[in-house]
Amino acid sequence: MRIDRLLCFLRLAKSRGAAQRWISEGHIRCNGQRVVRLDRPIATGDILTLPLPKRVMVLRLTALPARRGSPAEARSCYEELDAGGSIAIAGTDSHFETEKGKKQP
């Protein structure tokens, strides 16, 4: 399945055209690599990284949807890997201080 079609079917993009613009701008990653082609094939087990307005969504595809269904049907096709925001996307820096003023190891 093409990635632009998948983003639309999973309700991560409002339309296929919106998904195509999102991909063309270079914001989507699949298995850690930037997606540069609209027709990039996607398979079950692939990990997608998507920038959303307030956070970065990392998900693993568990199934490929046959159509653009309900939101519940779309969510059943993937699992969020960082739902709590615990994975550091940019890594940690030992110069940042934690609570109580102690530096991280």
- Residue 104 resides in a domain: no
pTM score of the predicted model: 0.73
100: amino acid identity, one letter: K
- Residue 21 resides in a domain: yes
* Contacts for 76 with CB less than 8 Å, ≥ 6 apart: 62, 63
- Residue 79 resides in a domain: yes
Confidence bin at 97 (pLDDT 50/70/90): very low
Q: Considering only CA atoms, which of 85, 83, 65 is closest in space to residue 10?
A: 65
CB–CB of 4/38 below 8 Å?
yes
- Residue 22 resides in a domain: yes
- Residue 102 resides in a domain: no
Count of structural domains within the chain: 1
The CATH number assigned to the domain holding 23 equals: 3.10.290.10
**Order of strands, edge to edge, in the sheet holding 56-61?**
33-34, 29-30, 47-51, 56-61, 78-80
Which structural domain range is residue 56 located in?
3-84
pLDDT digits (tens, 9 = 90+) for 55-94: 899 999 999 999 999 999 999 999 999 765 555 454 444 4
